Amino acid sequence: MSLQKRFIAGARCPKCNKEDTIYVLKDEVNPSRHCVECGFSESQSDLDKSSPVGEWSPVRLTDPE
């Protein structure tokens, strides 16, 4: 099983509210997000239990013109 670690530019931690500290670990079974600043951690299965939507939504960034 291989893990892919990706930082999410512009994302804010839901716990400490600091920007650019969130990274996502992706594996075949259960993706999770983490904060390097405060140690916050949340997995996709945590969201499935607590969220009515149960999914992370992609964010599309556009170039300012």
3 state DSSP class of 47? helix
Q: What is the pTM of this model?
A: 0.62
* Token pair belonging to 29: 């079974």
Model pLDDT for residues 9-23, shown as the tens digit of each residue: 998 999 999 999 999
- Return the number of other C-beta atoms located less than 10 Å from residue 25's C-beta: 15
32-35, strands of its sheet edge to edge: 4-7, 22-26, 32-35, 41-43
Percent of the chain with pLDDT over 90: 34
